Amino acid sequence: MSDPSLEAPAPRPDTGKRFRRTLAMVMGVQVVTLVLLWLLQQRYSV
């Protein structure tokens, strides 16, 4: 695999910030949603 386009991009110190920030927010929203859905089920289905 000598073609550089086939290799994983080398990490740069200034890249990935937005990705990490977005990742944290996305996961936060998913966790809150799952908790709310769980509460909805527990409150109204039992």
Partner 1 sequence: MNPLNWVIVFGWLGYVVIHGIRRSRGQKGIDAYILANRNIPWWAVGLSVMATQLSAVTMIGTTGQGATDGMRFVQFYFGLPLAMVILGVTLVPFLHRARVYTAYEYLERRFDAKTRSLTAFLFLISRAMSCGTILAAPAVVFSAIFGWSVSLSVAVIGVPAILYTMVGGVTAVTWVDVKQMFLIVAAMLAVVITLLVQMPVSPSDALHIAGAAGRLKVFDFSFSLTNTYTFWSGVIGGTFLMMSYFGTDQSQVQRYLTAKSVDEARSSLLISAYWKIPLQALVLLIGVLVFVFYQFSPPPLLFNPDHEHRVRAAQPAAFSALQARFTTGLGARTAAARALAGAEDAHDAPATATARQSLAMADDSVSAVRTQALDLAAKVTGQPSKDVNYIIPRFVIDHLPLGLAGLFIAAVIAAAMNAISGELNSLSTTSVIDFYRRWVRSDSTDEHLLVVSRVATGIWGVFACVIATYAVNLGSLIEVVNRFGSFFYGSILGVFLLAMMPRAKATGAFVGLICGMVAVGAVNFGAPSVSFLWHNVIGAVTVVAIGGLISSMGKTRRAA
**Which residues make up the interface to partner 1 (CB under 8 A)?**
1, 3, 5-9, 15-19, 22-23, 25-27, 29-30, 33-34, 37-38, 40-41, 43-46
Min dist CB 26 to partner 1, Å, is 5
Report the nearest approach of partner 1 to the CB of residue 12 (Å): 9
Closest separation in Å from C-beta 40 to partner 1 = 6
DSSP per-residue string spanning 2-46? --GGGSPPPP-TTSSHHHHHHHHHHHHHHHHHHHHHHHHHHHHH-
Residue 21 tokens read as 């920030």
